[in-house]
Amino acid sequence: MIKFCSLYSGSSGNSIFLSSERTKLLIDCGLSGKKIIEALCSIGESPTELSAILVSHEHGDHIKGAGIVSRKFDIPIYANENTWCMMEGSLGTVRDENKVFFNTGNGFDIGDFFVNPFPIPHDAVEPVGFNFFINNKKLTTATDIGHMNKELLSYIKGSDFLLIESNHDVEMLKMGKYPWHLKKRIMGDKGHLSNEMAGKVVAYLAENGTRRFLLGHLSKENNFPQLAYQTVSNILREKSIDIKRDIMLSVALRGGASKAVEV
End-to-end C-alpha distance for the chain, whole angstroms: 7
Given a cut of 90, is residue 26 above it in pLDDT?
yes
Task: Report, as an integer, the average pLDDT of 215-244.
Answer: 96
- The per-residue pLDDT for 259 is 92
Q: Which of 250, 23, 213 is nearest to 115 (CA)?
A: 23
Confidence of residue 244 (pLDDT cuts 50, 70, 90): confident
Q: Please, which residues have CB within 8 angstroms of residue 60's CB and are 6 or more apart in sequence?
A: 30, 90
**What is the residue extent of each domain of the chain?**
3-262
**pLDDT, tens digit (0-9, with 9 covering 90-100), for 121-134:** 999 999 999 999 99
Percent of the chain exceeding pLDDT 70 equals 100
Given a cut of 90, is residue 239 above it in pLDDT?
yes
Task: Report, as an integer, the average pLDDT of 17-38.
Answer: 97
Task: Report, as an integer, the average pLDDT of 251-256.
Answer: 94
Strands ordered across the beta sheet of 52-54? 99-102, 77-80, 52-54, 24-27, 15-19, 3-8, 261-262
**pLDDT, tens digit (0-9, with 9 covering 90-100), for 77-116:** 999 999 999 999 999 999 999 999 999 999 999 999 999 9
The mean of the pLDDT values for the chain is 96
Model confidence, pTM: 0.96
- C-alpha 214/C-alpha 232 separation (Å) is 11
- The per-residue pLDDT for 145 is 96
Q: Which class would CATH give 3-262? A: alpha beta
- C-alpha 32/C-alpha 38 separation (Å) is 10
Inter-helix orientation angle 225-238/195-207, to 10°: 40
- The per-residue pLDDT for 15 is 98
Q: Is 111 left (phi over 0), alpha (psi -120 to 50) or beta?
A: left
Given a cut of 90, is residue 171 above it in pLDDT?
yes
